[in-house]
Chain A
Amino acid sequence: MDDRELVRLAKDGSRDAFAELVAKYQSKVFSMAMSFIRNREAADDAAQEVFLKAYLALDKFHMKSEFGTWLYRIAVNHVKDVLRKRGRAKEVPLDEVAEVSVTDENILEKAEGEREVETRRALVRSSVQALPEKYRVIVTLRDIQGLPYEEIAQVLHLSPGTVDSRLHRARKMLRRKLAPVLVQEGGSREL
């Protein structure tokens, strides 16, 4: 059964239909919450809140967009609220994130195989968290969640051109910050 049919049934009061929608989207919503919140328990709670909000607002969904896009919009707004309430909306300027250096002893100690990749991955994620909100959201949706540009534009109510330019700027900021841990051209530090 496709989303439209499931939504129609859920609007008519079918709990099973909504349960099917939850089963289909729970990982996507949880994964998005996790990308922002980075705590499994809090992300799980946020994902549940997102589905509750969606269920209560189902009558306002007129199928003008895809159900998934509408759900993502609720999720992004909810997660932003959660972060604001937790006081994380007060962004740490990118310059204040601990400087990354390949000569750092801690990193060199871990610079073996998967652990090195994990360390670098964690550093990249920390730098994303330190971006101003509008850049953090767009990088999360595109580069972590892998949403297409058009869907990001719909979720955030932005023009595709704005998505493009904002993403470009966010990636430039990140690269500038992370250059020391990124692969050098012709270097040996492959992923």
Chain B
Amino acid sequence: MNCKKAEKLVLRSLDGRLDDRARGLLEEHLSGCPSCRQAAAEYRSMLALLRPEREETPPAGFWERLEPRFREEQKIVPYVLWERWALRAIPAFAALVAVAAGLFLFTPPAREMSQSEALLIENANPFSETRSLFEAKRPEEKSLMLIFASLDEKPQARR
């Protein structure tokens, strides 16, 4: 065993984490190595100095001092939750308004009704008007009237 390995085992031994076999090997090494014996003594001393002599206890009345802070905290928590909620709600509300405004601004205007649609709404027969055209006696007159009638139709708005 070399000194580096021995140092690791010394620390494991001081932590109580060394099995019997490793302990035997360590003791064998320590018996022939003054510098590792020195290291072991120093580590033992250092760990003893680090360990507190007694557990520190807080000043008396720990809970009595803590309880009012709980009450205070509980008063604050609903406000904090509201504040957090409000902070998240503001951008959400703004986004909603923006979407609504967008919809309002970009909705295509309602197209004007064609004559036929107007007649249908008035519960009139849309063909009654054209019937007179078809019933015209002279074919030239009929063609001209059909052309003019088609020109009267407003072009439909593009969707």
Chain A contact residues, CB within 8 Å of chain B? 15, 19, 22-23, 26-28, 30-31, 34-35, 40, 43-44, 47-48, 51-52, 55-56, 117, 120-121, 124-125, 128, 139, 143-144, 146, 149, 167-168, 171-172, 174-175, 178-179, 182-187, 191
Contacts and interface: CB of A to CB of B under 8 A. Distances in A.
B62 A34 contact: no
A128 B50 contact: yes
Contacts of B48: 191
Interface of B: 7-8, 11, 15, 17, 34, 37-52, 55-59, 62-63, 65-67, 69-70, 73, 77
A19 B66 CA distance: 9
B42 to A, nearest CB: 4
A27 B41 contact: no
A40 B8 CA distance: 35
A175 B42 contact: yes
Contacts of B42: 175, 178-179, 182-185
B50 A47 contact: no
B11 A184 contact: no
Given A27-B55, A30-B58, A44-B62, 7 more contacts: A15-B67, A40-B59, A55-B73, A171-B11, A175-B46, A183-B44, A191-B48
A26 B58 contact: yes
A144 B45 contact: no
A144 B51 contact: yes
